[in-house]
Chains A and B, each alone.
Chain A
């Protein structure tokens, strides 16, 4: 396993290894997403309180989950860049931030759409909603800062620092429903406890989560591969790739 990790640190190996994985990822992502949406929209039973409106969960929860998971992963990659100077980690930060922004946006807006019929409000300054909005602003700040820096390597380092500063928001979002008296409901899914949601509603949710995850990994790997080609264009292996075309 360590050998694989060392290989991934080399842009050339990363490019060829990821190239083998991305076709499978895209197909699996598409299949999972389609199945999950059909299952969630058609076959999952309606909620006794919320009726059919609860089906927004199959979009909202995966998007929110991803918005945090992507940021956590960015934090890890930022450390790899700043401490171990693994450049490929830095090359991925910007693409991840772009997708993270999209996921956070989706989580906020679908949450708002869900909140209107259920809570009677498009927005409340609830702890979880507010901290998720802060996450959206963090992503926006990261993207804006990257655009402002001319040298991409410097850009990577600067946003890596920014990412690490913002990491504190993740536990705040996660624990907000415990620490504060929030309107947003508490955790349904936990690593340690039984899920508080019926199985017939849970399984499509897990499938949707998987679909969103696979989709995200696919998008990020593909974007990273393009970025690697651009940044490493002076290397012989990139030249060979384009010579053979």
Chain B
């Protein structure tokens, strides 16, 4: 437990390291979500187009 918190502290650089990794995770996840949204949108657009 003790060394886990040491690891979290990143030798005093925690705010820098974790904000960088957090931002990276956010960007990667955002792009996946945007992709899913786009796929859904295209799918529904085309289904509508073929039905109508």
How far, in angstroms, from A117 to B20 measured CA to CA in the complex?
A: 13
Chain B hits for A21, CB < 8 A: none
Classify the interface of chain B: helix, strand, loop or mixed: helix
Are A59 and B20 neighbours in the complex by a CB distance under 8 Å? yes
Q: How many of B's residues come within 8 Å of A, CB to CB?
A: 27
B13 within 8 A of A: yes
Are B11 and A52 neighbours in the complex by a CB distance under 8 Å? yes
How far, in angstroms, from A58 to B23 measured CA to CA in the complex?
A: 13
Chain B hits for A114, CB < 8 A: 16, 20
How far, in angstroms, from A102 to B25 measured CA to CA in the complex?
A: 12
Chain B hits for A233, CB < 8 A: 46, 49-50
> Looking across the interface, which residue of chain A has its beta carbon closest to that of B21?
A59
A46 within 8 A of B: yes
Are B17 and A56 neighbours in the complex by a CB distance under 8 Å? yes
Interface residue from B13, B24, B35, B46 paired with A63 (Cβ < 8 Å): B24
Chain A: minimal CB distance from B21 (Å): 6
Chain A: number of interface residues, binned into ranges = 35 or more
How far, in angstroms, from A105 to B20 measured CA to CA in the complex?
A: 12
B52 within 8 A of A: no
Please provide the chain B residues from 1 to 52 with a CB less than 8 Å away from any CB of chain A in the complex.
7, 10-13, 16-17, 19-21, 23-24, 27-28, 30-32, 34-35, 38-39, 42, 45-47, 49-50
A149 within 8 A of B: no
Classify the interface of chain A: helix, strand, loop or mixed: helix
Are A99 and B17 neighbours in the complex by a CB distance under 8 Å? no
A interface residues (Cβ-Cβ under 8 A, vs B): 33, 37, 41-42, 46, 51-53, 55-56, 59-60, 63, 98-99, 102, 105-106, 109-110, 113-114, 116-117, 215, 219, 222-223, 226-227, 229-230, 233, 238-239, 242-243, 245
Q: Closest 8 A-B residue pairs measured CB to CB?
A: A52-B11, A53-B13, A52-B10, A51-B11, A59-B24, A226-B42, A110-B20, A56-B20
B interface residues (Cβ-Cβ under 8 A, vs A): 7, 10-13, 16-17, 19-21, 23-24, 27-28, 30-32, 34-35, 38-39, 42, 45-47, 49-50
A sample of 26 cross-chain residue pairs with beta-carbon separation below 8 angstroms, ordered by A number, consists of: A33-B28, A41-B21, A42-B7, A52-B10, A52-B12, A53-B16, A56-B20, A59-B23, A60-B20, A99-B31, A102-B27, A102-B30, A106-B23, A110-B24, A113-B19, A114-B16, A116-B16, A215-B28, A219-B31, A219-B32, A222-B39, A226-B38, A227-B42, A239-B50, A242-B46, A245-B47
